[in-house]
Structure 1
Amino acid sequence: MLTFQEKLDIIETFDELTKKEVSLNRVNFHFEDSLYDKTVVVYHLHPNGNGFVYTGELPQYESNAKGLVNIRDYTEEEIRTIITASITYLSQEEEIEPAAQQTWKDSEGHTLLLVEEDDRWNIYAGENLEDSFGGYDEAALYLREEGFKIR
């Protein structure tokens, strides 16, 4: 297992990440250019060698419910690979073909419905109209910024 300092040295080679110290001598690294609200790439790197990397819904990683993978026993190459994957994941737009109706959910289980009606894209919470946009891209961007994803 790599030491805390070795992991720290590896992670600090990623110029796009910003180091932020948190409680109990742990360190987070943020990707400030993330296209999403989520900016933490490395979460709670601890002096005991434990730490997590955000991989969201990347299929090649088995993450926990928060989209995090434990890197305690990762090699240098594995750490570089997973961090690169995380940064790429957070810097790419989702390629989604708009449908006339889409269900969007957030991490807390709230559901919104995006519906194309009369040349407008309307967002509904249940039967209540929450917002209306002139284009799909504008509506989808709003939903992503509010923490929602297509389900």
Structure 2
Amino acid sequence: MLTFQQKIEILDSYPQLQRKDVSLGRVNYHYEESQHDKKTVAFHLHPNGNGYVYAGLLKGYPTDDKGLVNIRDFTEDELRRLLDASIASLSEPLPEAVPSAKKRKRLAAETNWVNGKGEKLTLKAEDDLWYLYSGLSLEMAFETPDEAREYLAEEGFTQLQD
């Protein structure tokens, strides 16, 4: 087990981390260049040897509900690997959620329908439902496109080919 002083020396060797002394002799280290709201990499290093490192964006580490790993019994190599991974994870912004191809297709889905009288309706996918419009007026809403198509067929509408 590393001593408190050894842990401090290791953390001090990372120029991108800023030391912040907190209460009861504890020390935190912040990564101000973090691309996330989270900036604390090392949390509550205590003179008794206890302390935590943030690993909330990493896989393979047993974290608590705040994403922290207890480093009390870490070796120097284990601590350095964790610190390197933690800093790297905070250096990259989270990728924005990209809708799946199915969801993108569904969001873009809009079909036009016409009956024998020349009346036109538009079926649009919006907010996980399918809405049937006559011009700007909402006529009906359906949970699935199949349900909407079945209704349109029963009412004598056929889909226009775009």
**TM beyond 0.5:** yes
Structure-2 residue corresponding to 1:49? 49
Task: Give runs of aligned pairs for residues 1-150 of structure 1, distance below 5 A.
Answer: 1-99=1-99
Question: 3-state DSSP class of the match of 2:81?
Answer: helix
Question: 3-state DSSP class of the match of 1:11?
Answer: helix
Output the TM-score relative to the length of structure 1. 0.64
1:80 Cα deviation after fit: 0.4
Q: Find the structure with the greater CA-based Rg.
A: 2
Q: Which runs of 5+ in 1 are unaligned?
A: 101-115, 118-151
1:97 Cα deviation after fit: 4.7
More strand by proportion, 1 or 2? 1
Q: Distance in 2 between matches of 1:11 and 1:77?
A: 12
CA RMSD, 1 decimal: 1.6
Output the TM-score relative to the length of structure 2. 0.60
Q: Distance in 1 between matches of 2:51 and 2:97?
A: 36
Q: Which runs of 5+ in 2 are unaligned?
A: 101-106, 109-162
Higher RCO (C-alpha 8 Å, min separation 6): 1
1:65 Cα deviation after fit: 0.3
More helix by proportion, 1 or 2? 2
1:44 Cα deviation after fit: 0.1
The one-character-per-residue Cα deviations of 1:97-132 (angstroms, maximum 9, x if unpaired) are: 5228xxxxxxxxxxxxxxx89xxxxxxxxxxxxxxx
Percent of paired sites with the same residue: 50
Q: Distance in 2 between matches of 1:36 and 1:61?
A: 19
Q: Distance in 1 between matches of 2:95 and 2:30?
A: 24
